[in-house]
Structure 1
């Protein structure tokens, strides 16, 4: 027999499903974000009801739940827990949120993009958040990965949407990530058809500047062949304590000529019958550089495929890298392979924070949204890394980095009963709440 269930609504706040936002608010209290945004003059927004800091913190609260659309703010307008966690007086409406971000993006002097990047970098530094490096022989280097990741916004009429190199219509933003943790340190939204290296040297120089706000350790810039440019090499050589690995775009160079170089200069290794790998390095002088440049090469010759089929003509694969590192060629190749981890960081921004299909129609507003997204991404990354400091989380497994989706699902979206007494707010967690110890520790670490 089916029993009828009655639905009633209490006047009390019985439960919140996003108690983890308290840790987000605690992190924001370590920044000057609200103060700096409130001091910035936004055109057409004199004496607004909602302060600029209040608007941005509300949107960051959305992003930290994996919500990017402006309309998602509406359910939180009367949510006093949302306000208390983020330390805001009143939550703006969806039109207010959209209009304020539009106005800020159009006001050049407001510099909200710069403020978000600067405050994000300063927060990582001030909290001494772990920034893990890699062994590069003589030095330990902090990886600084720069890459373009197309955003599919097909089927829309947003400003700047055009055909990307992936064959979809959308944007082609460029990102920079620091450390093995993958903190976002810089970004630029670009039209989909923009070449990856456009203004690349300026972006690289700016990225190193932001990275220096976080760490003074030696950096290792890693970029793919789309950024093979002598300008990028010159920027790295001009900066102090900056190494690089940039994959060479072979363009018209023949594979056979590199095979001859490999046979002459490299060390060969037969990895299996029918597959020989040559690895080595060459150095040579270059105009406008005060030292010899180094290229590491890997040439793979296959005469038999992996299924045992003998090939009529040898298959030659060539990979060449510009590098300032002096470690062994094989270590240089390994370090570049690790650059592929940045694809995971792209994925977390695009899917976990729901930012691939950007919410605005205006290009400048979407760029501001993306900057706010990277700020939220760093907040969640800091919380995820803090959760790994002790062995009290139910998900262990010896991981070195907590995925953003895991942080949202298990730390942000943690349910608690809300009680208020003597102007104090308390979150009471269930007896069998598996993440309680971790969430409490994270909040106490930053509160």
Structure 2
């Protein structure tokens, strides 16, 4: 955690912008007020564009024109670069930026040169590990999902900017003049108008998205029946084949090395995702060898997880066996490298490899308990076997979003991946990489 106070402590918000080597799964921001920066290439928006991050930003709309017109035009102009702005009438006053997978700023800084450089501001930057430590990632996820759900929120477009330009011209700098010209009604905020419980609304949205993505995965699975490479044995479950087809596509055809601009591919393929799938199926079927070690998953990783997370075994895993599960879970391997070594019991060290971290992580996680006193093994037993297969989506949502059930540093992607390896007859695995690959192919799914 870092305190951001600009010149007062020499730590500016620009200091915590992710480096090109940092993994960022998209940027979410809710910043009430804004104006253009002097350096458009190096500011927050320019940074997102340069690094090809998708930015979803919510800003304020009212008769005082809280976001400067040049900034609004700039945001609209860069819609083609995956910059998406929505406007919240009257009540938005937050200053939050979440670089998903990297960390979040929460403080007082608006989107302006003064706020980022010369104003006296106060805020904190929390790394992704900090967010995971105290469940703040769940709170941020819920915060932005709430912003998405309000019917009063609307997308930025040219007509809105022209309307605000008329209001600004009429106001001539006075506070209330121009209010009668606005077309959108005043909003008193969610406490006065929202009747349905936020939890139910978010859960229902998750259900719809989850089943839409599942339909895409099942469709790809059906096509894989006739596009199986010679090195894939016939008895490998189709759900596993779907995941590893997407794995191979993502690591061999999306970007180069660590640069994976999946949103650019989404923009290119969204008009015809089936054509993109078909082209990659032809490539996949013609491979003579595993493109990126998919055979290890088919014949070691997935069978190991399926055996050890069976109904008879899941509650009785030893630490070594659970470490083996963690080592074979892609999402967990990605997450553990971001954890602080102090949390893993090694504050004396500055660096540890992923392979060295995983056994420490498994031992640490087995000691954690949720609000109901459950261990991670009891939580997995609940997700896998705590009800009907048709309700698996709901148990995943509860286990990852309900603070009574959730555990620190063990989220949706790890659990949703595991259920696919453990229950291939029920569902394919799904983790962040699965979702990114689907988006790259042109499917409008969410990356969790």
TM-score (norm. length: structure 2): 0.23
Structure with bigger helix share is 2
**Which is greater in Rg?**
1
Considering Cα pairs closer than 8 Å and 6+ residues apart, tell me whether 1 or 2 has the greater RCO.
1
